[in-house]
Amino acid sequence: MQDKKMVEQITSMEVDFAQWYTDVVKKADLIDYTSVKGCMVFKPAGYAIWELIQKQMDERFKATGVENVYLPMFIPESLLEKEKDHVEGFAPEVAWVTQGGLQPLAERMCVRPTSETLFCDFYKNEVHSYRDLPKVYNQWCSVVRWEKETRPFLRSREFLWQEGHTIHATFEEAEERTIQMLNLYADFCEEVLAIPVIKGRKTDKEKFAGAEATYTIEALMHDGKALQSGTSHNFGDGFAKAFDIQFTDKDNKLKYPFQTSWGSTTRLIGAIIMVHGDDNGLVLPPKVAPVQVVIVPIRQQQEGVLDKANEIKEALAKKGMRVKTDDTDKSPGWKFAEAEMRGIPVRVEIGPKDIEAGKAVLARRDTGEKTECAIDDLPETIEKLLDTIQKDMLEKARSRRDSQTYTATTKEEFDRLFAERSGFVKAMWCGDVECENKIKEEMSVTSRCMPFEQEKIADTCVCCGRPAKKLVYWGRAY
């Protein structure tokens, strides 16, 4: 009975998805709440996922020539105010520092909600000639946005992220980098997180404060809601003009350079939970699982069992797998439930009878499937199994996403889909913000993106009936 207790305390996702999510983040030991309202503690199991994301994303960044830097966490108010759209977008949600030590500050400073203004201030010092271009910089840090309602990983007052900021001699080069980084995010989500995404451009209504164009990757969660999972912005020369950054080009003329920024956050952990999780808890893709294999000894007090378990552990670790033996004094059933809750991709069960037969039992977290495997073959078999799980999880997520993606050609159809189902709805749009506003007001649905892969599913806007300009993915979003 007690063995199942851990699992029984989780709400079923069918019953209450929001509560299921909260249960998983707590029971899988990812986070803790704190005395600091709207902020959270990343516990070891949660932070370790972020470390694996960081490491693998950073390697991909560096392979494209990105260099890491670190800029101050404070922005003087006068600096934040230099670019009009930007300050309008962010000023209402920043935290203000007004006193340093025992003295009030002459000018108050906000804790960075994002660092475009600081990078501009920096680039103004650094960029004078075409020889100084491009700069392709990134920083890993935390930022603060004073949100009213918060949810672990999805929306918190402080969150961890990376923000890339680049500066280029031409618009074309900036645009190329903007798209390159969006593609990098998309590949990362699919190949590392096993999360399929739709790549596209945001409408003007939804773009970043100060950007000329914002591109996004949109993922679909288990409950049919969309999650914006990474964005890449082309600023044109708007920030350069606001901050008066100029460079002498090869033709000896003074010109304004072009800038981009792109970011992804600890929201990605929320996406992993809501795309892959199930009623037994977390399901982690092997590439971001802090523990990829757990070995559970059965009758571990019997001589030779723990030794064999540790022998297997060493053999797997030698092949580079992240593996641990659960030799606590809990019952095997409890250990199984706990390993499932924590989303460990593969469980190895080994007891006296197995050892005698030279075998072990392998259990997959994603499918629950159990197979037998000769002990000697474990390293090779599990290594392949982890690859298979990684691929299968992506395909499973893709199938579900596709089955929750609908098309609508009339407003009636569109409204009925969002009334009865949840997921993406593809529909044509005239390009007018009025239609976006109307749809949002009536159905609480927003344009997620204008996908790169455009189709023409109708000639007219799904909302107003005028000639359509773009196919848009619509959805309810986190």
Residue ranges binding a copy of itself (CB under 8 A)? 32, 34-36, 39-44, 47-48, 50-51, 67-76, 79, 92-102, 109, 111, 118, 121-122, 125-126, 137, 141-142, 144, 146, 148, 157-158, 160
CB of residue 439 to a copy of itself, shortest distance in Å:
28
| Angle subtended by helix axes 44-63 and 171-191, to nearest 10 | 140
CA distance 470 to 206: 15
CA distance 85 to 68: 27
CB of residue 90 to a copy of itself, shortest distance in Å:
10
- Cβ atoms of residues 248 and 128 within 8 Å: yes
State the pairing for strand pair 198-201/158-168.
Answer: unpaired
CA distance 274 to 272: 6
CB of residue 331 to a copy of itself, shortest distance in Å:
15
CB of residue 6 to a copy of itself, shortest distance in Å:
16
Q: Is the peptide bond before 44 cis (omega within 30 degrees of 0)?
A: no
CB of residue 442 to a copy of itself, shortest distance in Å:
29
Query: Considering beta carbons, is residue 125 or 301 the nearer one to a copy of itself?
Result: 125
Query: Considering beta carbons, is residue 49 or 425 the nearer one to a copy of itself?
Result: 49
Cα dihedral 275, 280, 286, 287 in deg (nearest 10): 50
CB of residue 42 to a copy of itself, shortest distance in Å:
4
Query: Considering beta carbons, is residue 122 or 414 the nearer one to a copy of itself?
Result: 122
CB of residue 332 to a copy of itself, shortest distance in Å:
19
Query: Considering beta carbons, is residue 158 or 237 the nearer one to a copy of itself?
Result: 158
Query: Considering beta carbons, is residue 47 or 452 the nearer one to a copy of itself?
Result: 47
Query: Considering beta carbons, is residue 76 or 351 the nearer one to a copy of itself?
Result: 76
Contacts with 70 (C-beta within 8 Å, 6 or more apart), sequence order: 139, 141
* Cβ atoms < 10 Å from Cβ of 54: 13
CB of residue 55 to a copy of itself, shortest distance in Å:
10
Query: Considering beta carbons, is residue 27 or 398 the nearer one to a copy of itself?
Result: 27
Q: What is the DSSP string of 193-257?
A: S----EEEE--GGGS-TT-SEEEEEEEE-TTS-EEEEEEEEEEETHHHHHHT--EE-TTS-EE--
Query: Considering beta carbons, is residue 109 or 305 the nearer one to a copy of itself?
Result: 109
Helix or strand run (H / E) with residue 446? strand 446-451
**Burial call 209-223: b when 16+ CB within 10 Å, e when fewer:** bbbbbbbbbbbbbbb
